[in-house]
Amino acid sequence: MKYDKSRIKSIKKPPREGNSFFTRLLTPLINILSGKELIVNHMANSGLCGPYTLTSENIDIIVTRISPGAYALGYTDNSGTFIIQYVGRSDNNVNNRLKSWVGKYRQFKVSYFNSPKEAFEKECTLYHDFGGTDNKEHPARPENSYWLCPICKIFG
Ligand SMILES: [Zn+2]
């Protein structure tokens, strides 16, 4: 059997892909550690991701997309349960909306949605399931929309 010497030589060459090592191995690790990867995984089942401490820095790390979204604000009690105090949504930029609450609540959970209507429906479901104590009224729909709450008949 003949060896193809040129091929062996090329295989033994030291890798010159310093950048790709970083890109392929370290970038995903950094994404996981920083939470970016986590939020992508959670999008698949439409659950809320978190809780995270409510700071502008964390919001920028976790909520990297400009997107409609729904969120819950609250705190973790001594038994480790996340207590929801307020639920809300943004029709266009959930990152921005969350930042308006910094200093008023301790932690947040969040999820992106593909449309404002989906974010609204999730907000309604959260409102009915968990009833944030600071939500004095049923979530509102935009004027001139005909969106219906998936749980109750308030708009029906
Ligand atoms: Zn409702």
Å from CA of 124 to ligand 1 middle:
6
Backbone angles phi, psi at 124, to 5 degrees: -60, -45
Residue 80 carries which DSSP code? S
| Ion ligand 1: residue ranges with CB closer than 5 A | 124, 149, 151-152
Cβ burial 79-102 (10 Å sphere, 16+ → b, else e): eeebbbbbbbbbbeebbebbbeee
Å from CA of 123 to ligand 1 middle:
9
Å from CA of 68 to ligand 1 middle:
19
Which comes out higher in pLDDT, residue 15 or 146?
A: 146
Lowest mean pLDDT among 10-19, 62-71, 78-87, 128-137: 10-19
- Output the pTM of the full model: 0.70
Distance CA 106, CA 2 (A): 70
What is the four-CA torsion angle of 57, 60, 62, 66, rounded to 10 degrees? Answer: 160
Q: Which of 51, 151, 156, 28 is nearest to 98 (CA)?
A: 51
3-state secondary structure of 43: helix
Å from CA of 131 to ligand 1 middle:
11
Predicted confidence band at 104 (pLDDT cuts at 50, 70, 90)? very high
pLDDT over 70 at 5, yes or no: no
Å from CA of 150 to ligand 1 middle:
7
Residue extents of the structural domains in the chain: 45-156
Homologous superfamily, domain 45-156: GIY-YIG endonuclease (3.40.1440.10)
Beta carbons of 130 and 87 less than 8 angstroms apart: yes
**pLDDT (0 to 100) of residue 69:** 97
**pLDDT (0 to 100) of residue 35:** 56
